[in-house]
Amino acid sequence: MGRLPEGAPDGSPDGLTVFQGMYIFIPWNVILGTGGIIQFGRALELSPSQQLETNMTSRRGFLRVVGTSAVILAAGGVGLTQCDPMPEEAVAAWKGPAPSVKDPRVRALSFALLAPNPHNRQPWIADLREPGAITFLCDRSRMLPETDPYSRQIMIGCGAFLELLRMAAAEQGYRAEIAAFPNGDWPDNTVGDQPVCRVAFVADQSVARDPLFAQVLKRRTKRGAYEATPVSAAEAGGVEGVLNGLPVRFGWTGEPGAMNRLRDIARRAWVIEVKKDSTYLESVKLFRITGPEIAKKRDGLSFHGPFFWWMNALGLVSKETAMAPFARQQAVDLIEADLKTPAFAWIVTPVNDRRAQLAAGAAYARATLRATEMGLSTHPLSQALQEFPEMLPLLAEHKRALGLPAGDTVQMFFRLGRATPGEPAPRRPLTEIIRS
């Protein structure tokens, strides 16, 4: 007779069920990733010849556990399709601020918190001790030193945060006057103690509301395969149009030859990141496996759902197993689903200083909101843009493939296409980033 692991969750009776008092052997070929939801593609009969397939997709997925092997589930009449959901408290921020929040700065920060950012690190500190202003700092405890050694991507996330803050201020009738590095610039290629910017909230009922603000609570990063339906020139032009006035350039392609070259570079970049211990471990440390850990941390890369709950309870999925040799080898395959896209797009700056990186973040935030408005999905593929030594040859090859001058910097490279919307990513409580 089998026995469930302690704390086994209940689930839906219409899903896959293990029967009272029996061990059920399920051969499987499982793909794991950071998308966080398991999608059962077809009905299952519990026969030794069948495979349980789950499609998990991610920018930072981590392993495909020994395909065509067997996992033993001890039974107790428990359905497995709806246990271990995304914790509601982890994604509560996507509902927007409560009506009881009156301070316009705090209301604006409630939206800014939803900005896209690398590895969902949320590297933001908002000091509210000065009335009518926000002093915005970068949280140096939330860097990515292995994959983002100069904190370029972190700064892009800060730029996205500030763009949503600006929009949310305007929506309330305030002009956000943003002064970058008011206490001086940081030393080259480092993140300093000085503020990133000071944002003054100036009451101004004539300030223009940004129509993209309506998409802030709807925006999602969508991992996994996209539909093959082409992105039209008009759609790409719609994305480009909302970047007017920013010191960036936008490019895109759906041409088959160019797409194949860029897919090949992205694939090789992913292999480099996964095969290097320090860069892959940086991601693994940010894995949040099952709902309780997601609810506790509310950042990083989320894995949840019935499969992850069971595999974690049985000791087969954890941060430790993710670094095992077989897991590392299988992780290489996970890029394939993310390469299924009809178009790539990119954001370029002629210089690569901190202000350019902030502008690129604002541009990317606006691009994703416009894509959401048009029913398109987006997902960064940043590996080939990373500046650690082993990646530098591919970074240069990637720039040549885009036909760019050597002096330009590709700040963002991302997928663009149609897909079922993803789920919202966890966000930390606003109280964790506010200093008052």
Distance separating alpha carbons of residues 319 and 191, to the nearest angstrom:
28
Question: What residue segments make up the domains of the chain, in order of their start?
Answer: 23-86+286-331, 88-218+424-435, 233-281+336-417
Per-residue model confidence as pLDDT tens digits over 174-227: 999 999 999 999 999 999 999 999 999 999 999 999 999 999 999 999 999 999
Q: Supply the pLDDT for residue 359.
A: 98
Q: Supply the pLDDT for residue 81.
A: 57
Q: Tokens for 104?
A: 């316009």
Distance separating alpha carbons of residues 272 and 391, to the nearest angstrom:
7
Distance separating alpha carbons of residues 396 and 229, to the nearest angstrom:
30
- Specify the DSSP element, H or E, that contains 104: helix 104-112
Q: Tokens for 341?
A: 């896209």
Distance separating alpha carbons of residues 17 and 74, to the nearest angstrom:
11
Q: What percent of the chain has pLDDT over 90?
A: 77
Whole-prediction pTM: 0.85
Angle formed at CA 182 by CA 178 and CA 188, multiple of 5 degrees: 110
Instruction: Give the mean pLDDT of 372-394.
Output: 98
Q: Supply the pLDDT for residue 267.
A: 97
Which CATH code, of 3.40.109.10, 3.30.1360.70, 3.20.20.70, 3.40.30.10, is assigned to 233-281+336-417? Answer: 3.40.109.10
Alpha carbon separation from 277 to 57, 73, 157, 283, 326 (Å, rounded): 22, 32, 25, 10, 14
| 7 pLDDT tier (thresholds 50, 70, 90) | low
Angle formed at CA 311 by CA 309 and CA 313, multiple of 5 degrees: 65
Distance separating alpha carbons of residues 436 and 431, to the nearest angstrom:
10
Q: What percent of the chain has pLDDT over 70?
A: 81
Per-residue model confidence as pLDDT tens digits over 401-433: 999 999 999 999 999 999 999 999 999 999 999
Per-residue model confidence as pLDDT tens digits over 350-360: 999 999 999 99
User: 338: Cβ–Cβ under 8 A, 6 or more apart, which residues?
Assistant: 57, 58, 59, 223, 224, 225, 266, 379, 381, 415
Instruction: Give the mean pLDDT of 137-160.
Output: 98
Strand spans (E) along 187-248: 197-203
Distance separating alpha carbons of residues 364 and 361, to the nearest angstrom:
5
Instruction: Give the mean pLDDT of 290-297.
Output: 98
Q: Supply the pLDDT for residue 6.
A: 52
Q: Tokens for 262?
A: 């860029």
Name the more confident of 80 and 272.
272
Q: Supply the pLDDT for residue 293.
A: 98
Distance separating alpha carbons of residues 98 and 96, to the nearest angstrom:
7
Mean model confidence pLDDT for the chain? 85
User: 237: Cβ–Cβ under 8 A, 6 or more apart, which residues?
Assistant: none
CATH code for the domain defined by 88-218+424-435: 3.40.109.30
Total residues found in the chain within this entry:
436
Q: Supply the pLDDT for residue 43.
A: 29
Per-residue model confidence as pLDDT tens digits over 48-94: 223 333 333 333 333 333 333 334 343 333 445 568 999 999 999 99
89 contacts 101 by C-beta, under 8 angstroms: no
161 contacts 121 by C-beta, under 8 angstroms: no
176 contacts 166 by C-beta, under 8 angstroms: yes
User: 278: Cβ–Cβ under 8 A, 6 or more apart, which residues?
Assistant: 146
Alpha carbon separation from 398 to 22, 116, 252, 384, 390 (Å, rounded): 54, 23, 13, 7, 14
Q: Identical fold at 88-218+424-435 and 233-281+336-417?
A: yes
Instruction: Give the mean pLDDT of 146-167.
Output: 98
Q: Supply the pLDDT for residue 80.
A: 55
Q: How many CA atoms lie within 13 A of 68 on its CB side?
A: 1
Distance separating alpha carbons of residues 436 and 420, to the nearest angstrom:
40
Q: Supply the pLDDT for residue 75.
A: 34
